Amino acid sequence: MRAGGRVGAAVAVPLFRLGGHVLVALFAYVVAGFAGGALAFGHWGWTGVCAVAGA
């Protein structure tokens, strides 16, 4: 369930490299990571969140 985080990273890195969009890139990455954690919590509880964080 880490796909959300990977998609966010894939979007955030190019935005970061464009320059002037640092906040947008960081926001996209954080939101994607949070969404992945929330999805894991919904399916597997804290064990799922820990698994996503450790991956």
Residue 28 sits at the vertex; the CA angle it makes with 47 and 33, to the nearest 5 degrees, is 5
Residue with the two structure tokens 């954080």 = 30
The helix/strand count (H/E) of the chain reads as 2, 0
Distance (Å, whole) CA 47 – CA 27: 25
CB contact at 8 A, 40 and 49: yes
Q: Provide the whole-model pTM.
A: 0.40
How many domains does the chain fold into? 1
Q: Which domain holds residue 33?
A: 3-54
Give phi and psi for 10, each to the nearest 5: -65, -30
**Span 7-47, pLDDT tens digits:** 555 555 555 555 555 667 677 778 877 887 777 777 778 77
Counting every residue written for the chain, the total comes to 55
